[in-house]
Structure 1
């Protein structure tokens, strides 16, 4: 017995400074993705909605951080109850967690795992905001975020990643959030926009991006931060799987961007910057669930297929009549579904597990498991999100008035404008009188 105890003690994981530092860096990279998303969305809207898009992402950082500390981490990763939700009273408010207490057999502290997962929880509702551009009250959005993460994101995270969660136990593969993040957010976006309706002037007025440089900046920050999002999800790199995920993230994103641009050139006659940015994001979304299970050649296939299908999907909103302002459904929902289901075909058995897909001799067993996870999360998020939006719309109202929407949601909701063409600054507090020369010039122009 003494020798057995010594052996067990020797095999027990010990804190790794390297893995801990690596995961803290990855956590910071994932946080950077939310401001990146804000720029990406902010550049895609018209001038009069720019600040509102930025704020819809930034408010998620504040709200979700507090809720995650209070009870979100416990619900998502606490002791399983019925394969649907977790709970650990010691984690409420992050109380009774030792500074060096390790996370569930890994070599990093619980606090490090907690903060890494927090960044996922922050960006997921922020993704939804792109579908609602131009028309949602900021207070209603903030309340929706708080309710949505509580009743949708926290439970779904437990299903997919929590020990005892039904999707986790079934064997559904989701390396870094194809179901829990992207399908979840995309389905929620669809549910909400079906309730709140279309923007004023949808399919009539031009609603082109006002700043493609901002879009490209945001896409670049997302691409950069996504390496932390994906590679960090292995919680270390002692066996090379994190490195495989890093490589596959780059490979799939490049393939998706190229596929989107080729489709765009054939279909519309031009290679656009918006297409390049959107294609890159589609590839990032698709490789998120699958990158630890496929080879780099498989990652090229996943990225190319996702880039093509997402490019085709974004036009569906005009045919089907739903107003997904910034293509959250077409990119995140479709990309997440494609990336998750393709695991059933391209899993090589040489990455995160020995599971093999159809093209590697594994049959369709994993494909059906992926289908179960994909469509359960899609249905749950779609229905519950629509219900939350309906309740808020009937109580406090989800939409701004038509006059405020037409005039500009930035001024109506934030008393600011993104660009002040009459002088420096865009804040409402700018009250100084114009300089004499400027006033004289203005009178000449008026005359």
Structure 2
């Protein structure tokens, strides 16, 4: 198939947009921690940009999209991106597709970091990020997105990463929060966000970058990308409204943090469905994601696990809900590469959706648990309590975020 310059241009722009999401995530998370931990939190995202980019170039892409071995993992045929130069993937260069997918691989372990903010050793995080990307992200991406992947062949729909990125990261975040344990003093001591203006700015950057995340996944610049872009915006708007509406009714006050969290929940919810559902369905998905993720965040206080920045409550629950609702609202008439969902007369589509949720959730959770136990024995997962109280900016990085 001949390379199309318009499709290529859109994919290159989308790649830049998705890259911009990782600094956006750094701001979003950074504003929610205490000021003594702002740099350590930002470093989780920026370190992933460097370390996981190299992992992807060296062998990650090959494991995710190389020649399939039983539908479970790619081969070693593209180590160091060998064999991609001058080759087309559909109507775009293979290198452009590789770069676009790299940005997904980069942001996913950074999402997990929200669960253990303010208490994990930086060295442990770096080891975890590389091993998790290699043993969880790359195989799961192969299962769902590679043409020979076993979940792809089963018919599971995930347009832009509801299961691959958000569910896998969210389940892993929950395991991290439980294994690493609560922050010192939580929940009796209040751990107030130090800069919500930073968080709202980060949420805005995420909203902007998500157009590349979802609409770029069309791998073309035509009607499918247009629908995915509109669906993305509709779900973000509805997610903010859904979260704030429930919060307002429950707490009697609508909060800025709630609006920011809700729009991200809406974006997470629509991610697997963006190329398969109508804009009206996107509104429903986004609103439900905002409301349900708000309830999930409240649940952590009852169950008393310390998911510091709600990585599981937003990404795990939102990714699960979005994957399930994709099987409800999908319409083959909107995308020939998709399937009809429950409301279009095909309740059977819920089977591969549920299979993908179960397989990815269980696999990510078990591998994450094993990795955490191993890393704890080798370098230790958690900083000592005196260092935690002083703040990770000083003790882990020898810096301070603000010199006022």
TM-score range, shorter chain: over 0.9
From 322, 335, 342, the equivalent of 2:305 is: 322
Distance (whole Å) between structure 1 residues aligned to residue 306 and residue 387 of structure 2: 18
From 87, 90, 109, the equivalent of 1:101 is: 87
SS class of match (2:272)? helix
Q: Deviations over 1:40-86 (max 9, x none)?
A: 00000011110000001100011111111111111000111011001
Which residue number corresponds to residue 192 of structure 2?
A: 208
Equivalent pair of 2:6/2:221 in contact (CA under 8 Å): no
CA RMSD of aligned residues (A): 0.9
1:55 aligns with 2:43: yes
Which residue number corresponds to residue 114 of structure 1?
A: 98
Which residue number corresponds to residue 5 of structure 1?
A: none
From 238, 242, 247, the equivalent of 1:264 is: 247
Q: Deviations over 1:156-199 (max 9, x none)?
A: 00001012101100000000000000001001111122211111
1:303 aligns with 2:286: yes
Q: CA deviation at 1:350?
A: 2.2
**Runs (4+) of structure 1 moved beyond 4 Å?**
none
Distance (whole Å) between structure 2 residues aligned to residue 375 and residue 94 of structure 1: 32
Which residue number corresponds to residue 145 of structure 2?
A: 161
Structure 2 runs not aligned, ≥5 long: none
1:379 aligns with 2:362: yes
Aligned length: 403
Q: CA deviation at 1:351?
A: 2.0
Which residue number corresponds to residue 441 of structure 1?
A: none
Distance (whole Å) between structure 2 residues aligned to residue 192 and residue 203 of structure 1: 17
SS class of match (1:290)? coil
TM-score (norm 1): 0.89
1:33 aligns with 2:16: no
1:237 aligns with 2:225: no
Per mean C-alpha deviation after superposition, the further-off stretch among 351-360 and 210-219 is 351-360
| Larger-gyration structure (1/2) | 1
1:22 aligns with 2:10: yes
Distance (whole Å) between structure 2 residues aligned to residue 201 and residue 352 of structure 1: 51
SS class of match (1:44)? coil
Q: CA deviation at 1:360?
A: 2.1
Which residue number corresponds to residue 160 of structure 2?
A: 176
SS class of match (1:349)? coil
Q: Deviations over 1:73-100 (max 9, x none)?
A: 11000111011001142x11112333x3
1:276 aligns with 2:259: yes
SS class of match (1:209)? coil
SS class of match (1:342)? helix
1:285 aligns with 2:272: no
Which residue number corresponds to residue 424 of structure 1?
A: none
Which residue number corresponds to residue 59 of structure 2?
A: 71
Q: CA deviation at 1:381?
A: 0.4
SS class of match (1:315)? helix
Distance (whole Å) between structure 2 residues aligned to residue 270 and residue 148 of structure 1: 39
Distance (whole Å) between structure 1 residues aligned to residue 84 and residue 148 of structure 2: 21
Distance (whole Å) between structure 2 residues aligned to residue 153 and residue 229 of structure 1: 17
Q: Deviations over 1:325-348 (max 9, x none)?
A: 000010000000011101121112
Which residue number corresponds to residue 370 of structure 1?
A: 353
From 126, 137, 158, the equivalent of 2:121 is: 137
Equivalent pair of 1:194/1:386 in contact (CA under 8 Å): no
Distance (whole Å) between structure 1 residues aligned to residue 84 and residue 302 of structure 2: 52
TM-score (norm 2): 0.98
